[in-house]
Amino acid sequence: MSRKKTIPVYCFNEHNEAYYYWNRSRIEGDLYRPMDLIHIDAHDDMARPRDFSESLYPNCTSNTAKIKFYRRFAATQLTIADFILPAVLCGIIKNVYFVYPKWRNFKPNRKSFTICSAFGEGKILKYGIRIKKNANPLLLQAIPDLKRFQYVTGIAEELPQRRKVILDIDLDYFVCCDSITNHFDYELEITRSQYENRERVITDKTLPFSGIEIAFNKRGDRHFAHINRKKVPEVRHFPAEEEIEQEIDTLMAALLKKKITPAVVTICRSCDSGYCPKEQAQFVEQLLINKLQPLLSS
């Protein structure tokens, strides 16, 4: 009697790292074909990268080298908002199901998309190209890696039945601070000459449109420029711990009812960026992993 294969669960700090773990899972055999992505998040992360300084298709052959390539590519070429579409293009994701939290008050939607890269080189990405049946064959040669997929948004209770999927969960689905730029500020040490000529910066006509504010100060013989983003209205969803547990229970119950089977699970903390506060991320992560167990053994 063979033992049931353990479903891998990967936890990491920022969401672009998911791209690395998905590719690693494909190399290791857990993602043996393109699968639907169930993306459970307070944000859709469907931003469209335009071009990369290197191809998303590795030119190495060994699995060890490929794993290193994907880790570097995720860290240097992708952001926390644009890692999903490249995973569609490279054949990991078949369709995308974005599950948003009910507190978001988003509206369900379904769209058909296409994605490809110029000449199949994996550097310059193209979106929304429609190919007619009688199209010139030369056109297909120019976009040989064209992928078609469905993008569906809704709540967990509206997911399709009986799917083997990539299950991807961001902790900011449960606890979220959307106005993270209010908490970003930087202090740069500048020269005495720059400090004495600070009026050039303060009176620059483009500064009000830059989205940043700059203040100058002096401490002893040292000079500094303090830079912060302009404040925006605070947008937060900070429920009590019992409410978070209830929301996790509701989510897991919906996935079990739909008979969702994960091939791999990726969990993003979003705590470096601040979308899920660090002081709450550890609690939510551990609770979520515990509540995932029935789904992993179903």
DSSP letters for the chain: -PPPPPPPEEEESSTTHHHHHHHHHHHTTSS-S-EEEEEESSS-------B-SS-SS----SHHHHHHHHHHHHHHT--TTSSHHHHHHTTSEEEEEEE--GGG----EEEEEEEEEGGG-SSBEEE-----TT--HHHHHHSTT-EEEEEEEE-GGGSPSS-EEEEEEEGGGTSEES-GGGG-EEEEEE-HHHHHTTHHHHT-TTGGGTTEEEEEEEETTEEEEEEEEPP----EE---HHHHHHHHHHHHHHHHHTT-EEEEEEEE--TTTTSS-HHHHHHHHHHHHHHHHHHHT-
- What was the pLDDT predicted at 182? 58
- What was the pLDDT predicted at 26? 97
Taking only the tens place, the pLDDT of each residue in 204-229 is 888 777 778 888 888 989 988 888 77
Q: Which amino acid would we find at residue 193? A: S
For 162, list phi and psi in degrees, rounded to 5: 50, 65
Cα angle for residues 269, 272, 276 (degrees, 5° grid)? 50
46 token code pair:
């469907």
Question: Domains in the chain, ordered, with CATH?
Answer: 9-178+236-296 (3.40.800), 180-229 (no CATH)
* Sign of the torsion angle spanned by Cα atoms 48, 268, 169, 68: positive
**Residue numbers of the chain with a pLDDT score lower than 70:** 1-4, 180-184, 298
- What was the pLDDT predicted at 183? 63
- What was the pLDDT predicted at 238? 95
- What was the pLDDT predicted at 209? 72
